[in-house]
Amino acid sequence: MTRKIIIDTDPGQDDAVAILLALASPELDVLGITAVAGNVPLPLTQKNARIVCELAGRTDVKVFAGCDAPLERPLVTAEYVHGKTGLDGPELPDPTMPLQDAHAVDFIIDTLRDEPSGSVTLCPLGPLTNIATAFSRAPDIVDRVQQIVLMGGAYFEVGNVTPAAEFNIYVDPQAADIVFKSGVDIVVMPLDVTHKALVTKARNDAFRALETKVGIAVAQMTDFFERFDREKYGSDGAPLHDPCVTAFLIAPDLFTGRRVNVAVETRSDLTLGMTVADWWGVTDRAPNALFIGDVDSDGLFALLTARLGRL
């Protein structure tokens, strides 16, 4: 049974790996890729999404450009992590496949209306601006979403862009607030789990040893942003955040978590963008998300290496 998904993304090297994993996996039917401003501005994220599709040999995948700024705040980007292009590391050619004419938000709305209710999963890998805009503009689609599996937030691992906030949620906390309050079944891949999905030297060597265009490019991408993350966290490698989303759709048994209430702070100067997860059930707020806390990282990288080897 294939699962229909829309990948909403701001590539980013780890976004690129998540997209490649999806395109390499017969369990997933990628209906389209929607780009949003985040790691780098929109002109680069929509371009990078097409570069990744071409790297995978999948010029048939439709790529749409979406929102170029958060709902209420100026855009914050992360070139200091991902490099000026967002995909620094490998030398990849500019894309020749076209960008679709329609706006990403319209594509999300139209697809959810056209496909059978409950058959499309949204996979946001960046700020939630496109998803929140679609939900606000077309409230009828909210109940038609099968599930949202997203990378964002943090609780026990605290923030990576401020002391309290993870980057994707911090960039557009108002959008995240809309999504978490939507009532859709949500699975969250926070830093709590993604910081356990580390690209060690051995795991990166396995990508390179595929000796394919994709394997070498992925190794070069992870080499690039590993330098920043090793220096920042003192870890054995860089966390591969976004592939946790697509891996969960293929092999959910690799992950464990807890259904809790997750609320997003939208007003505080101190904790703006914090995902407040009621891990111990100390409030009467109803659980609204499966908050993932652990992963079988060896199993994750075995899956990733095997699938990337198919491209």
170-224 pLDDT tens trace: 999 999 999 999 999 999 999 999 999 999 889 999 999 999 999 999 999 988 8
User: Residue 228: its pLDDT value, please?
Assistant: 62
User: Residue 237: its pLDDT value, please?
Assistant: 78
Domain count, the chain: 1
143-164 pLDDT tens trace: 999 999 999 999 999 899 999 9
**Tokens for 189?**
């891949």
17-57 pLDDT tens trace: 999 999 999 999 999 999 999 999 999 999 999 999 999 99
User: Residue 206: its pLDDT value, please?
Assistant: 95
Q: Do β-strands 275-277 and 63-65 pair in parallel, antiparallel, or remain unpaired?
A: unpaired
Element (H, E) at 263: strand 262-264
Residue 259 domain boundaries: 3-308
d(CA 162, CA 218) in angstroms, rounded, equals: 28
Residues annotated as catalytic (active site), given as ranges: 241
105-117 pLDDT tens trace: 999 999 999 999 9
70-90 pLDDT tens trace: 999 999 999 888 889 999 999
d(CA 88, CA 90) in angstroms, rounded, equals: 6
**Tokens for 91?**
């030398």
d(CA 293, CA 248) in angstroms, rounded, equals: 13
The answer to whether the pTM exceeds 0.85 is yes
Provide the CATH number for the domain around residue 120.
3.90.245.10
